[in-house]
Every structure is written in structure tokens, then in C-alpha cells.
């Protein structure tokens, strides 16, 4: 029988777990970071839900409350913002010498890359779930027993989405040389993915050219799947959402592994 190894043979799972644990512990110790990340999401949530309150949203003949529609989109977009900027942690480690020490250790670069990716991804999922639970408490979603299963279903979906986003963030951070350049990423990558995802505005209500642009945005399908789980409505088939999310995650991880392997430590 031929054995197929999906993960690289040189992965050190103990080191991967240590790096994952380091990211989670660093996140919980930074109370300002936790509060700021959640507060930013609620700032978007309250402003846009109030702005769209007068506009009925209809998807497949079903009328959706604007507050729930925006809340589900913001829950998905929280992963995008948190995951991308989680890549800043790699830049910090490079600039302050921690990454140089890791590179000198007898472990492969793939081990370091996987540990960093899954550490930030799990951290991102935790923040997203916290945001979702607080949104439920504030009444942005209906309170029923089914919501418990929706929240549990969101967790693996959020993990799948975060892997691709964190992979993109790590690709960017391995190429940059300073924190100032990261502001350009927000302007030319994060914000277009945000506005062209349908998180705030219904895709089927936009002009045709805008709908075409949204279909080419891989994160549109993440937002759509979030809405399917939380609200029971979607514009695309579930299999298409999962296919795009999985493909995006695999591509980002593969490119991220290559970019991480080529990364230079100048200190």
C-alpha cells in the first residue's frame, strides 16, 4: 500500500505547537489588542447597520434585516483584517531578532511557517467567535437554540478562511522591509477585498460591472458562506463557496511556504 503524505516530512509538530501557543498567549496578554480589534468591528457594525436600516434587503425572495445582514458580513470581514495584520507579527519578529534565533535552531523553515500560520489563524478564529457571540448578545442576530449550532459551525469555516488570509499576510510580510510599507497593503489589498466582498452591500443590488468584480474577489465567497450559516441565505452554492475558500487557502499556503523559505534575515 502506497502512503501519501500531505504534510512535509520535516515538520516538527512540537515546535509547531509551541509557536501556535506563543501566538495565542501573546494575544491574550495584550488586552489593548483584544479590545481594539473587537471595538473596531463594532464601530463598523453600529455605523453601517444604522446607515442601512431604512433599506430592505431581499435575497432569493427572503427579506433579511439590515442589522443581521451587516453583522454577518462584519463577522466574516473581522477575519480578513485580523488575519492580514497578523502578518505584522512576523515583521516584528524579524526586526527584533526573534526570527533570527528561530532560523538558527535545528528545525526546518516549513515548521516555522506552519507554526506561525496556524498560530495566527487560531488567534483570528478566537477573535471572530468572540465578536460573533457579543453580536448575538447585543441582538444583531435572533436568539434561538439553533444559533448555538450556527456558532459551532462557523468555527471550522472561520479557520478555513483564516488560513488563506493569514497565508496572504505572511507572504506580504516576508517581502516588506519596514512597518511603514504595510500601510500600502491596507490601501491596495485589504480595502478592495473588503468593499468588493458584499459584506455591507448586497451583491445582487449592485451594477453589473460591480457584480463581476465581486465574483473575482475570493473573499466574497467567505462572506456568502458566513451568511448561509448565520442567516440561511446565500447567492452562490455552498460547494462553490467551499471550493473557492479551499483553493484560495491552498494557494496562499503554498506561495507563503515558498516566500518564507526565500526570506532573508538581515540582522
Tens digit of each residue's pLDDT (9 = 90 or more) over 78-121: 888 888 877 667 777 776 666 667 776 777 777 778 888 888 88
Look at residue 46 in the predicted model and tell me its pLDDT. 74
Look at residue 212 in the predicted model and tell me its pLDDT. 87
Look at residue 266 in the predicted model and tell me its pLDDT. 57
Q: Is residue 180 part of a domain?
A: yes
Q: Is residue 38 part of a domain?
A: yes
The pTM for the full model equals 0.84
- Identify the residue with better confidence: 52 or 178: 178
Look at residue 221 in the predicted model and tell me its pLDDT. 93
pLDDT in tens, 115-142: 888 888 888 888 888 888 888 888 888 7
Q: Is residue 2 part of a domain?
A: no
Q: Average the pLDDT over each of 10-14, 167-171, 195-199, 248-252 and give the range with the smallest value.
A: 10-14
pLDDT in tens, 15-69: 778 888 887 887 777 777 667 767 776 777 777 666 655 566 777 777 777 778 8
- Is residue 172 predicted with pLDDT exceeding 90? no
Q: Is residue 94 part of a domain?
A: yes
- Identify the residue with better confidence: 138 or 155: 155
Look at residue 157 in the predicted model and tell me its pLDDT. 93
- Is residue 6 predicted with pLDDT exceeding 70? no
pLDDT in tens, 217-247: 999 999 999 999 998 888 889 999 999 999 9
Our count of domains for the chain comes to 1
pLDDT band, very low/low/confident/very high, at 182 (cuts 50, 70, 90):
low
Range of the domain at 97: 13-262
| 220 Cα distance to chain centroid | 12
Q: Is residue 171 part of a domain?
A: yes
Amino acid at each position: 500500500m502506497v502512503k501519501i503524505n500531505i504534510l512535509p516530512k520535516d515538520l516538527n509538530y512540537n515546535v509547531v505547537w509551541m509557536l501556535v501557543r506563543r501566538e495565542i498567549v501573546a494575544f491574550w496578554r495584550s488586552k489593548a489588542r483584544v479590545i481594539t480589534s473587537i471595538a473596531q468591528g463594532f464601530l463598523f457594525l453600529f455605523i453601517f447597520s444604522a446607515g442601512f436600516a431604512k433599506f430592505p434587503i431581499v435575497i432569493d425572495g427572503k427579506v433579511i434585516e439590515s442589522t443581521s445582514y451587516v453583522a454577518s458580513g462584519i463577522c466574516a470581514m473581522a477575519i480578513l483584517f485580523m488575519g492580514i495584520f497578523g502578518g505584522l507579527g512576523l515583521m516584528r519578529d524579524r526586526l527584533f531578532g526573534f526570527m533570527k534565533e528561530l532560523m538558527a535552531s535545528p528545525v526546518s523553515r516549513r515548521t516555522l511557517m506552519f507554526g506561525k500560520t496556524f498560530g495566527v489563524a487560531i488567534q483570528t478564529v478566537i477573535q471572530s467567535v468572540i465578536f460573533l457571540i457579543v453580536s448575538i448578545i447585543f441582538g444583531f442576530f435572533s436568539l434561538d437554540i439553533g444559533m448555538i449550532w450556527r456558532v459551532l459551525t462557523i468555527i471550522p469555516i472561520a479557520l478555513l478562511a483564516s488560513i488563506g488570509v493569514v497565508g496572504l499576510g505572511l507572504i506580504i510580510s516576508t517581502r516588506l522591509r519596514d512597518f511603514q510599507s504595510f500601510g500600502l497593503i491596507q490601501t491596495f489589498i485589504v480595502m478592495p477585498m473588503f468593499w468588493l466582498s458584499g459584506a455591507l452591500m448586497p451583491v445582487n443590488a449592485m451594477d453589473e460591472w460591480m457584480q463581476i468584480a465581486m465574483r473575482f474577489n475570493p473573499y466574497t465567497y467567505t462572506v456568502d458562506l458566513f451568511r448561509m450559516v448565520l442567516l440561511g441565505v446565500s447567492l452562490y452554492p455552498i460547494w462553490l463557496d467551499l471550493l473557492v475558500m479551499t483553493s484560495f487557502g491552498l494557494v496562499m499556503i503554498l506561495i507563503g511556504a515558498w516566500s518564507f523559505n526565500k526570506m532573508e534575515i538581515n540582522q
